[in-house]
Amino acid sequence: MEKTTLPPRADVPVEETWSMDSIFTSQEAWEKGKEQVLAEIPALATYKGRLAEGPKVLGDFFEAYEKTLRLALRVMLYGSLEIAVDGTDQESLARAGEGQSVIVQFNSTCAFLDPELMAIGLDRLRQWTKEDPRLANLGHYIDELERQKAHIRSDEVEQVLAMASEPLSDFFRAYNALTNADLKFKDATAEDGSTLEVGQSSINSLITHQDRQVRQTRFDNYADGYLAYKNTLASIQTGQFHQDVFNARTRNYGSSLEASLGKNNIPTDVFYALIKTFKKHLPTWHRYWKVRKQALHLDEFHVYDIKAPLATQSPKVPFDQAIDWISEGMAPLGEEYVATLRKGALEDRWVDRALNRGKRLGAFSSGVYDTNPFVMMSYADDVFSMSTLAHELGHSMHSYYSRRHQPFVYSHYALFVAEVASNFNQAMVRDYLFKTQTDPAFQLALIEEAMSNFHRYFFIMPTLARWELEMHERAEAGKPLTANIMTEICADYFAEGYGDGVVYDRERVGITWAQFQHMYMNFYVYQYATGISAAHALAKGVQEGGAEEVRRYLGFLSAGGSVYPLDVLKAAGVDMTGSEPVDKAFAVMASYVDRLEKLVEAGEV
């Protein structure tokens, strides 16, 4: 009996890994960088109580503050990237912990900054920005201080909050250590008796496997791995919810939701409108389950059939081919955009695409002001992987443009817009391939990829957002939070989405909440749905428009955090304060269901 296993990190080809030289060229260089930050932090403490002395002193502080913070962020990034690709490496885990500690020390030392700026007076600060050129970029920063004045606490409280961030972050670290290093899964079993290793870097390829028994055993064994630790996971998750509630109350917000959205100047109505619109469009999902069941010729359509391949043979898309097609799809944005993307992915090794043991689940883009962007994923030579690559490169190009065009203070864009550029890339590449790859098998694969993407962002994530809201409200009300309560409520929400068309095991579906580290990011997941909605609206504008639409989109990428999220999206061409963009994105999704339905009726599936 054969078994397909994941290699250890040391055995994967170097060309499939990212180059971290733009952060530090070696672990020794990282150590020197860490020591330099720790040596510079005490000098920042000497400015405490002195910022009101005048614009020169404030300019001196900001100059030293930025220099030290930029190095501290590199120190933190290095370790976090190491453990993302191998959570079993103890030395990397140590460096990640040290990097986080450096940031906490920096933040606690500089916690006096915003309270002292508020004490100086905002009008006076605005005058100082005209007197010292080093302060000239602080206009929006000061406006944000004014908007957030009710939530900025005293120097002493801010310092406590900064110091508390390290122990409070232990919930997230514990979750990652458990799920990426300690959690073990039984192998998936094929109809021929062979086995395939179930790991965080292989689960996505297994759930799209041709062999139904592989898909079923993968789904069951993956869920069972989490269920075996459900009480531990629930305790860790509860700690995170209590952290969110603590932070919200300490900063004088009415709820965790208000605290999360308030940081980005997003009204809570945007969240509630999304959930309402999502529930309205659940019948589209119910229709999709029915069409899929018919296409697969199944008597019963199970949850593990949602991503079953509809074609007998899925197109192979090697990494280099994916980069070519992504580049061609993004060509409307211009030669500079495409050349930067290609060089980053192929020459500068932005992408860690290897499949190896110990690599964390999913995919992400990361980086800081003075480094390349980095993409972590597990590339499996298929259309789904190509789409994920396009998505993460969208994040990376957003970061690249923001860092290139904005000063450090505005180089980080808000989470609300984070999922726009990524989904924009997917929409652009998908549209290009629909027009150029006319083979029916490839067209079918594109429909499957599109629906897989919508399934994640327009089904899984809004469902988890509903669960997340209820869990936070229970924590705020002092109601019990146990593994069984969490799992039952999660299963109830998925039951609404599945309707009568999907057969599922309640407990295994209910544990979905434990399988996403996004639950440690305080109302992040709803932004996948708003992001994909804005992305499709902007992609349509670029595809049907001309130079002006491209200019506005590149302006969006370049804005960073210098403009509030709703405002920068409106300037780019989409108003996210209402439900219209979400409705239109659901219409796009429904068009893919229509395409699939026609292929099924024509006997081409």
* Minimum mean pLDDT range among 176-185, 196-205, 455-464, 582-591: 196-205
pLDDT in tens, 513-562: 999 999 999 999 999 999 999 999 999 999 998 899 999 999 999 999 99
- pLDDT of amino acid 117: 96
At 205 the pLDDT is 80
Name 230's bridge partners.
Answer: none
Entry field: residues in the chain: 605
Span 190-219, mean pLDDT? 89
pLDDT-based confidence at residue 169 (cuts at 50, 70, 90): confident
DSSP H or E segment with residue 459: none
Q: CB–CB of 195/1 below 8 Å?
A: yes
Place of tokens 């690709």: 85
Question: What pLDDT does residue 596 have?
Answer: 93
Partner residues linked to 364 by β-bridges: 376
Residues in Cβ contact with 382 at an 8 Å cutoff, skipping those fewer than 6 apart:
205, 208, 314, 315, 316, 317
Closest listed residue to residue 360, CA positions, set 176, 499, 523, 129: 176
- Cα–Cα distance measured from residue 239 to residue 42, given in angstroms and rounded to the nearest whole number: 32
- Give the per-residue pLDDT at 200: 81
* Biggest CA-to-CA distance, the chain: 78
Check: CB of residue 322 under 8 Å from CB of residue 47.
Answer: no
| DSSP-assigned letters across all residues of 508-523 | HHHGGGGG-GGGGSSS
Smallest CA-to-CA distance from 86 within 20, 25, 170, 23 is with 20
In 3D space, the residue among 349, 409, 326, 473 whose CA is nearest the CA of residue 114 turns out to be 409
First-residue to last-residue Cα distance in the chain: 32
Residue 602 has pLDDT above 90, yes or no: no
- Is residue 201's pLDDT more than 80? no
Q: Which residues are catalytic?
A: 392
The strand ranges marked E within 58-216 are 188-189, 195-196
Range with the poorest average pLDDT among 42-46, 198-202, 270-274: 198-202
Residue scoring higher pLDDT (428 or 599):
428
What's the CA gap between 81 and 79, in Å, rounded? Answer: 5
Q: Can you list the domains of the chain with their CATH numbers?
A: 8-168 (1.20.140.70), 172-228 (1.10.287.830)
Three-state secondary structure call for residue 592: helix
What is the model's pLDDT at position 360?
A: 85
**Region 326-354: what's the mean pLDDT?**
97
∠ CA 391-392-393, nearest 5°, is 95
Question: To the nearest whole number, what is the mean pLDDT of the chain?
Answer: 94
378: left (phi over 0), alpha (psi -120 to 50) or beta: beta
Contact 73, 34 (CB under 8 A): no
**pLDDT of 2 strictly over 80:** no
Please compute, for residue 148, the number of CA atoms within 13 A of its CA located in the half-sphere on the CB side: 24
Backbone φ and ψ for 314, nearest 5 degrees, come out as -80, 145
What is d(CA 386, CA 95) in angstroms, rounded to the nearest whole number?
A: 32
Query: Is residue 298 over pLDDT 70?
Result: yes
Report the distance separating Cα 472 and Cα 249, nearest Å.
13
Mean pLDDT of 580-587: 96
315 in helix, strand or coil?
coil
- DSSP-assigned states of every residue in 126-157: HHHTTT-GGGGGGHHHHHHHHHTGGG---HHH
304 within 8 A of 207, measured Cβ to Cβ: yes
Cβ pair 225, 185 in contact under 8 A: yes
Q: Write down the pLDDT at residue 1.
A: 45
Q: Write out pLDDT tens, residues 468-511.
A: 999 999 999 999 999 999 999 999 999 999 999 999 999 999 99
Amino acid of residue 286: H
Question: What is the layout of strands, in order, in the sheet containing 3-4?
Answer: 3-4, 195-196, 188-189
CA distance 372 to 386: 21
d(CA 291, CA 597): 6
Query: Nearest-5° angle of CA 479, CA 483, CA 485?
Result: 50
Q: Which two tokens stand for residue 403?
A: 């860092």
Coil/strand/helix, residue 529: helix
Q: Give me 130's structure tokens.
A: 């005209």
- Give me the amino acid identity at 206: L
Residue 479 backbone zone (phi > 0: left; psi -120 to 50: alpha; other: beta): beta
pLDDT digits (tens, 9 = 90+) for 20-79: 999 999 999 999 999 999 999 999 999 999 999 999 999 999 999 999 999 999 999 999
pLDDT tens-digit series, residues 240-251 = 999 999 999 999
The residue behind tokens 């209820």 is 470
**Sequence-ordered list of residues with C-beta below 8 angstroms from that of 483, at least 6 positions apart, any chain:** 230, 231, 233, 234
The 10s digit of each residue's pLDDT in 72-121 is: 999 999 999 999 999 889 999 999 999 999 999 999 999 999 999 999 99
- Nearest alpha carbon to residue 80 among 90, 93, 68, 89: 93
Q: What is the pLDDT of residues 432-448, one digit of tens each?
A: 999 999 988 899 999 99
Q: Which residue type, as a one-letter code, is found at position 353? A: R
| Banded pLDDT at 603 (limits 50, 70, 90) | confident
User: Which residue type occupies 63?
Assistant: E
